[in-house]
A and B are shown apart, each in its own frame.
Chain A
Amino acid sequence: MKKAYFLAAFFLLAFLLSGCKGSGEVQRRLVVHAIGVDPADEGFIVSYQVFAGRADESGPTDADESTVVTLLAAGRTLGEAEENLRLKTGKEVFLGDCELILISDKLREIGLMGFLDYLKSSDVYSGVSVAYCRGSASETVSAKLKQGSATAILLRGVLEEAIMCGRALSSRVIELTNALEFDGESAAVPVLEMTLGRDNGDGSTLTETDIGVYHSIIMTPNGCGPETDSDSAAGISLLKGSTRALEFLVESKNGSADIRLDKVRSSRKIRIENGLPEISINISGRYTVRASTGDMTDDEIKKLSEKALLELCSSGYEYISSGDLFEIKKMMIKYEGDYFRSKKDSIGEIIQKTTFNVRASLFKY
């Protein structure tokens, strides 16, 4: 009996020490699906796409246009804005389900480091994507698009498809932090752009909005670099060896073909040639002709596709001066350690003088 009393006392003690309950009820949490950041006079205006649904008898609930709303909160920092949102709604802000962080391109000049610091210390998933958006992030997060409301899932889907098609590079928190903060590399961050609907043929203009990724902004550890178009982003991805699939068009006097490239593999080797680094890249993959016009032969398509790849690479190479976009420093540390140590002080300049020797060999599926 004595033992039972002791045991009960211990449990009671532990229970009392727990402050009864450290966490709130689930309905007291404000589930954030996406965050948009815009500049303000002093600090930022942050748009939070949050869930505001109630159960009804019509079936299961999910984050769709009827259940998400965009709430705004301002603060000198993102942390302060979050705190303000909490005070405004009276709910605990839950960032664990956040799918996307959108930053207005007006904030490109201040770089990404501050945002990454906030994201690292919050509950946001390390694998969440960070992207810029053209114009107002608030408008993007709450836009009405052709295909429905710009829910976080839809926006993330648009971004992921661009990455899958090789037109943008992956820009997760973990990847950006490792590149910008720890390795001193640069990163190409995709830009989500909204455009008004095209003319529908009878002279009237559709009011719905389109969204897509057509550009990327190159971010360096020190701030912001130039902007690239999607071809250059695809070239950067190819030179970096991170492309897995790619879509492009090839044209000749005999016609044109829409090519889909998949199972892309890149092997990269670095060597020091004439005192400067030279990277040899072998790109291989299989291609599928999705649609074609005219009477192009297989051989012609293959050659044109390989040529197109080389052109993409050369357009990506134009950004060699925008910091270490291609992990050249890492390659030197791993394979040319002595050279790297001897040139440590001038490594930034050397990286800009790196040459690439690209070979592409494709086969038809």
Chain B
Amino acid sequence: MNPPKISAAQLAILLFLARLMHTMIFRVTDFDSGTPIMLGLAASTLIEALLMIPAAAYASKSIRGEAALPKPVRLLYSLYFTVIAGGTAALFAEFLHREFSGTVPPTAAIILIALAAGYCAYAGIEGIARAGAVVFILFAALFLSMVAVSEGKFNWLNLRPMTRDGLPHFSKYLFESLSSSWQIPMLVLLGSKLRRNPAGAAYGFLALKFLAIETLLLLITLVLWRYVGVLGYPIYALGAFAKSDFIQRFDPINMLVWAINCTLVSALYICISSEPVKSRSKGAVIFSALAAAFALYEYKRGLRYDETWFLVFKLLGVLILGTVVPLCAMAINKFKSGKGALTA
């Protein structure tokens, strides 16, 4: 049996979809101005580029088979991504409940997402990576069609310069954006599944993320302005002002594509979480059940996107699992190999 391998482009797209999913469930109630958020995203991308260095280096070693995490540490990663999967499902269920209350109850939505994601995780990383490219195309098509039939007009007066008043928004978004960059620990884990070029995947993802989300934010600022706060979900809001004779409203189409992405991204989290379990089917069942349980608990408890513990947990995960652990692992490996050479 050939070992499963994915390409750098596929990985970059997967990481991008994970980030985009997170942006989708980012809920705003007070959209003061797009500029601090856009600058916050730019600053966060720069910091992420630095934090990516150890992860990319570790991924390189993984490709060559020179790095492997000890099982307890690996389980920490699994736990982290199970929580992220649960959080994603819970927040998506919340979105469904708010915007499409008659469609499916949140509890059922979480169970169904876990089921579908569990199945996709069982299908393996290669299937998810290939499907990721299709979902990416779907997104692009949806985005372009929404822009094409948007009834909004660009109001360039909405694009204000950054002032001191915007600093709290800037720092808040910078913190939120950094805490949402768990694609760095994902790179650490997915390095071993990569054929080559982890740096290309990492920086390709960052470039893609920066361009796409900045464009989306710019469009939202120019077209929707503070009405975004009324709709709550910025990217979803873009479809709320699009209309055509053929498709009267784009909101449900938007939801359809987001639901696909939510399932795919949750499947990715479950897939990488379940890797320590030898049987792929058992791993998928265990971790999708865990993610569903966490999502149900958090939904009932009323998890919010900007809840402090959730943000801190995510940020700690990014720093420790994305940067500290790979650095330590590489240092230990180097020490061991140095010792081995001396002994020899």
Contacts and interface: CB of A to CB of B under 8 A. Distances in A.
Contacts of B157: 327, 330-331, 334
Interface residues of A, number: 32
A14 B230 contact: no
Interface stretch (A18-26, A51-59, A103-111): A18-26
Given A177-B227, A331-B157, A334-B161, A18 B249 contact: no
Nearest to B240: A126
Contact of A177 (B107, B163, B230): B230
Contact of A14 (B108, B158, B161, B241): B108
Interface string A64-98: 00000000000000000000000000000000110
Nearest to B31: A182
Contacts of A341: 163
B276 interface: no
A3 B107 CA distance: 22
B105 A17 contact: yes
Contacts of A172: 151
For A14, A97, A120, A334, which residue has the most chain B Cβ atoms within 10 angstroms? Answer: A14
Nearest to B289: A10
Nearest to B106: A17
Contacts of B151: 127, 172
A330 B156 CA distance: 10
Contacts of B230: 120, 177
A334 to B, nearest CB: 5
B115 A10 contact: yes
A97 B159 contact: no
Contact of B103 (A23, A96, A174, A178): A23
Interface in B152-168: 152, 157-161, 163
B104 A22 contact: yes
B115 A11 contact: yes
B249 A174 contact: no
Interface in B94-110: 101-105, 107-108
Nearest to B161: A337
B111 interface: yes
A333 interface: yes
Interface string A120-139: 10000111000000000000
A22 B241 CA distance: 26
B249 A19 contact: no
Interface string B72-112: 00000000000000000000000000000111110110011
A125 B243 contact: yes
A23 B225 CA distance: 32
A18 B227 contact: no
Contacts of B103: 22-23
Interface string A1-34: 0010011001101110111001100000000000
A327 B157 CA distance: 9
A192 B241 CA distance: 24
A183 interface: yes
A127 B243 contact: yes
Contacts of B111: 10, 13-14, 17
A93 to B, nearest CB: 13
A333 B225 CA distance: 15
Interface residues of B, number: 32
Binding site secondary structure of chain A: helix
A178 B227 contact: yes
B2 interface: no
Contacts of B243: 125, 127
Interface string B219-240: 0000011110111000000001
Interface in B278-323: 281, 285
B54 to A, nearest CB: 40
Contacts of A6: 285
Given A11-B115, A22-B103, A178-B226, A334 B241 contact: no
A19 B105 contact: yes
Nearest to B230: A120
A172 B152 CA distance: 10
A17 B227 contact: no
Contact of A183 (B107, B112, B226): B226
B289 to A, nearest CB: 10
For A7, A22, A96, A327, which residue has the most chain B Cβ atoms within 10 angstroms? Answer: A22
A3 B225 CA distance: 50
For A120, A174, A327, which residue has the most chain B Cβ atoms within 10 angstroms? Answer: A174
B328 to A, nearest CB: 40
B104 A182 contact: no
Interface string B186-230: 000000000000000000000000000000000000001111011
A333 B160 contact: yes
B248 interface: yes
A337 B163 contact: yes
B160 A17 contact: no
Given A97-B248, A125-B249, A18 B225 contact: no
A22 B103 CA distance: 6
A1 to B, nearest CB: 14
A115 to B, nearest CB: 14
Contacts of B226: 178, 182-183
B339 to A, nearest CB: 48
Contacts of B105: 17-19, 22
A218 B108 CA distance: 48
Contact of A22 (B102, B160, B240): B102
B227 A174 contact: yes
Nearest to A18: B108
A126 B227 contact: yes
A6 B119 CA distance: 13
In order of increasing CB-CB distance, the 3 nearest A-B pairs are A182-B226, A17-B108, A330-B157
Given A14-B115, A126-B241, A334-B161, 9 more contacts: A7-B115, A10-B115, A13-B111, A17-B107, A126-B227, A172-B151, A330-B157, A334-B157, A337-B161
18 contacts: A3-B281, A6-B285, A10-B111, A11-B115, A18-B105, A22-B105, A23-B102, A23-B103, A120-B230, A125-B249, A126-B227, A127-B152, A172-B151, A174-B152, A178-B226, A182-B227, A334-B160, A337-B160
